[in-house]
Amino acid sequence: MCKFKLKPNDINVKINGQKLQDKTTAINAIGFRINQEIKFLYCKKQNLNQRLYCLHLAGAHHCNGMWQHIQEYTESHAAQHTTHNHNQAHSKQCTTDTHTHTHIHTHTHKILQQHQS
């Protein structure tokens, strides 16, 4: 089991008693439901991966050798888009830091002027 005892909010098991057996049963039921959910999600992922693989094969067969170029273009376009978003977020962070520093400096300067008067 994992280090942290996490229980999803949608898994609620009601128990009538406060005995150790009742609590153990509830814990086992929650663990069983979590395992069932993991199995379901794994099967869903496998199904989606299989469908994606079939679509890739169909696309490769349909495009007759152009598939590699399409894939390279898509990957490069995605990389450019990611880089652009990263640079944009970084520039916003730098602008915010500069604005905060300027605001603090101006505020400090005003306080010093008040104390000197």
Cα-to-chain-centroid distance, residue 71: 25
Task: Identify whether residues 92 and 48 lie together within a single domain.
Answer: no
Residue 23 lies in a domain: yes
Cα of 95 vs its chain's centroid, Å: 26
Q: What is the pLDDT of residues 74-105, one digit of tens each?
A: 888 888 988 888 888 778 766 655 555 555 55
78 is a domain residue: yes
Q: Which domain holds residue 47?
A: 9-64
Structure confidence by residue, pLDDT tens digits, 10-52: 667 777 878 888 888 888 888 888 888 899 999 999 999 999 9
pTM of the model: 0.45
Of 41, 64, 87, which residue constitutes the final position of a domain? 64
Write out pLDDT tens, residues 1-20.
Answer: 445 555 566 667 777 878 88
Q: Are 7 and 30 in contact (CB under 8 A)?
A: yes
